[in-house]
Structure 1
Amino acid sequence: MQFPDDDNGKMLAAMSEAGIDLSKQLDVDFFLVFDDQRDAESATEELANSDMEGEMELHLNDEVGKWELIVCVKMVPEYQAIVDKELELNQFAVEFGGITDGWGVMQHQDGDDDFTDDDHECNDRCEH
């Protein structure tokens, strides 16, 4: 599979090389960062009241001293869909004094081959 030669393309290539099935929906985490707690909380509230589907988590990132809003969206991680969602979230974050700071996926989701059971024997009920 070919990907553009940018950060998003490199991330998708690495995921593919790790055995993650990029044709299936995954929980993709987008990171929005804010300097000010009130701005971060306002953004979180506004996003929670919007029609965007997904889960959110807000916490203080002690390493960088900034508030981090993680927006988890279940989606097929296609290049253009990632770019579009990142741009949408960045435009949103800027309204509250924040910016996006990349995206990622937690390992070991559905479609991830890293922990297959070597002793498993497939049968008619297998779904992989």
Structure 2
Amino acid sequence: MQFPDDDNGKMLAAMADAGIDLTKALNVDFFLVFEDQRDAESALEALVQQEAEGEVELHFDEDTETWEVIVCLNMVPDYDALVAKETELNAFANEFDGGSDGWGVMQHQEGDGDFADEEHQCDDNCHH
């Protein structure tokens, strides 16, 4: 697969190289960053009131000392769809003095192999 030479394209290429099936829906986390807690809470409240698609949560990032609203959407990680959603969410966050800080995908999701560690042996304590 060929991807554009930008951050989104590089992320998709890395995902493909890692063996992630980009034709299937994945949980994609979009990160909206705010300096002020009240701005982040207002943005979160607006998303909830709009009954926005996906799940939302508020998180304080101790490393950057910023507030993140994380919007998790189940979607096929298509380049154009990701760029459109990121642009939409950035415009939304700007209304609350915030901005988009990209997106990401958890490495292991439903449908992935159970374990990256091929040495794992199941026993009575396994819960998968």
Normalized against structure 1, the TM-score is what? 0.86
Q: Kindly tell me: are residues 59 and 91 of structure 1, through their superposed partners in 2, closer, same or farther at Cα, counting changes over 3 Å?
A: same
Count of aligned positions:
118
Q: Percent identity?
A: 68
The Cα shift of 1:51 comes to 3.7
The change in CA–CA distance for 1:100 and 1:55 in structure 2 (over 3 A counts) is: same
Shift of 1:116: 7.0
Correspondence 1:68 to 2:68: yes
Distance 1:111 1:77, change over 3 A: farther
> 2: CA distance between counterparts of 1:108 and 1:36?
32
Matches within 5 A, 1:15-54: 15-54=15-54
Following the alignment from structure 2 to structure 1, what is the Cα–Cα distance between the partners of residues 50 and 88? 13
Gaps of 5+ in 2: 119-128
Which residue does 1:59 correspond to in 2? 59
Q: Which amino acid aligns with 1:32?
A: L
Segment of structure 1 superposing worse, 109-118 or 84-93: 109-118
Query: 1:69-88 CA distances to partner (integer Å, 9 max, x unpaired)?
Result: 11100000000000000000
**Structure 1: any 5+ residue segments left out of the alignment?**
119-128
1:33–1:108 CA distance, 2 compared to 1 (3 A) = same
* Secondary structure in structure 1 of the residue aligned to 2:27: strand
Q: Cα RMSD between the aligned structures?
A: 1.7
Amino acid in structure 2 at the alignment position of 1:15: M
1:21-67 CA-partner distances (Å, limit 9, x unpaired): 00000000000000111110000000011142101110111101110
| 2:22 partner letter | L
- Separation in structure 2 between the aligned mates of residue 114 and residue 23 of structure 1, nearest angstrom: 19
Please tell me whether the aligned partners of residues 19 and 114 of structure 1 are also in contact (alpha carbons under 8 angstroms): no
Residues 1:14 and 2:14 are matched in the alignment = yes
